[in-house]
């Protein structure tokens, strides 16, 4: 079985708010919207189809709510019933009962002030569809995904910190204009891997899980972006939105 690729997205969260109960407990809630088109993710845009998160209703699902994807900053989880998720026609709704910790209080304060208004979520793609319109714009639709964590964060850009085009049909890949995300297409082999895909010039689809050729594109598709690179990209996007 091929290794699944982790993807992370960040987008503006609708109805993002913190509520305080009579006993002082704070609850964070919001919604990750369906049918909301992303920014350019490297020659294509993306949206989440209604029902894509339906798997979160599985009683065995264990999904975490973190701060900035840091496991040590655990805000809640479905397993302990401190994080609840529900699928609606508008999107995935979440409610997290925040712990009485300094980090959780800081998070709540940032949301109350409006400094923090986005949610980043990590997932594995189970089913997706790719299509191109008459002008060559490529749109990827996430039909079904396996969610494993969500993280309140600062930048609302739906920017992909890890993007996969492995499932994109070969006939559409030539339309993906970002070089570092583009598959080799039908060009001559660029590595010495002898799997069928690499032999046919499709190194990005390398099917050899033990491939050791550093020139093969399979190493690039699984290379995660560093925290510093992600912060730089988010800052650039944020500054550009102010112009």
Residue 204 is predicted with a pLDDT of: 57
> Do residues 10 and 155 make contact, with C-beta atoms less than 8 angstroms apart?
yes
Residue 164 has pLDDT above 90, yes or no: no
Average of per-residue pLDDT across 109-131:
88
Residue 219 is predicted with a pLDDT of: 55
* Containing structural domain, residue 139: 6-162
Answer yes or no: is 234 within a domain. Answer: no
Average of per-residue pLDDT across 155-162:
47
Average of per-residue pLDDT across 151-160:
62
Higher local confidence (pLDDT), 67 or 230 = 67
Answer yes or no: is 63 within a domain. Answer: yes
Residue 198: both structure tokens together: 């690499």
Cα–Cα nearest to 41, from 160, 131, 175: 160
Answer yes or no: is 154 within a domain. Answer: yes
Computed over every residue of the chain, the mean pLDDT equals 76
**Number of domains into which the chain is organized:** 1
Residue 177 has pLDDT above 70, yes or no: no
Question: Which tens digit of pLDDT belongs to each residue from 29-84?
Answer: 988 889 888 877 777 888 899 999 988 888 888 999 998 888 899 999 999 999 99
* Percent above pLDDT 70 for the chain: 69
Answer yes or no: is 105 within a domain. Answer: yes
Give how far Cα 100 sits from Cα of 69, 76, 83, 115, 208, Å. Answer: 19, 11, 15, 20, 48
Separation of alpha carbons 6 and 28, rounded Å: 25
Residue 70 is predicted with a pLDDT of: 87
What's the start-to-end Cα distance of the chain, in Å? Answer: 47
Answer yes or no: is 192 within a domain. Answer: no
Separation of alpha carbons 60 and 128, rounded Å: 23
Higher local confidence (pLDDT), 10 or 183 = 10
* pTM, to two decimals: 0.65
Question: Which tens digit of pLDDT belongs to each residue from 84-113?
Answer: 999 888 889 999 999 999 999 999 998 888
Residue 142 is predicted with a pLDDT of: 93
Separation of alpha carbons 32 and 53, rounded Å: 10
Answer yes or no: is 171 within a domain. Answer: no
Answer yes or no: is 173 within a domain. Answer: no
* Percent above pLDDT 90 for the chain: 26
3-state secondary structure of 147: strand
Answer yes or no: is 218 within a domain. Answer: no
Residue 150 has pLDDT above 60, yes or no: yes
């Amino acid at each position: 079985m091929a290794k699944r690729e982790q993807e992370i997205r960040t987008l503006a969260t609708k109805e993002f708010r913190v509520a305080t109960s009579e006993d002082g407990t704070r609850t964070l809630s919001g919604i990750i919207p369906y049918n909301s088109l992303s920014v350019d993710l490297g020659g294509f845009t993306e949206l989440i189809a209604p029902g894509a998160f339906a798997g979160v209703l599985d009683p065995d699902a264990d999904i975490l709510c973190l701060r900035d994807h840091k496991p040590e900053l655990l805000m809640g989880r479905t397993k302990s019933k401190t994080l609840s998720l529900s699928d609606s026609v508008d999107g995935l709704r979440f409610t997290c009962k925040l712990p009485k910790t300094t980090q959780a209080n800081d998070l709540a304060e940032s949301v109350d002030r409006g400094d923090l208004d986005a949610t980043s979520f990590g997932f594995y793609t189970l089913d997706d569809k790719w299509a191109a319109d008459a002008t060559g714009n490529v749109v990827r639709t996430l039909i079904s995904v396996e969610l494993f964590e969500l993280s309140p964060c600062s930048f609302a850009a739906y920017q992909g910190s890890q993007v996969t085009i492995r499932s994109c049909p070969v006939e559409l890949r030539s339309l993906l204009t970002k070089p570092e995300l583009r598959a080799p297409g039908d060009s001559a082999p660029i590595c010495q891997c002898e799997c069928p895909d690499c032999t046919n010039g499709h190194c990005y689809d390398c099917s050899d899980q033990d491939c050791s050729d550093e020139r093969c594109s399979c190493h690039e598709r699984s290379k995660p972006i560093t925290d510093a690179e992600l912060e730089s990209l988010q800052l650039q996007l944020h500054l550009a939105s102010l112009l």
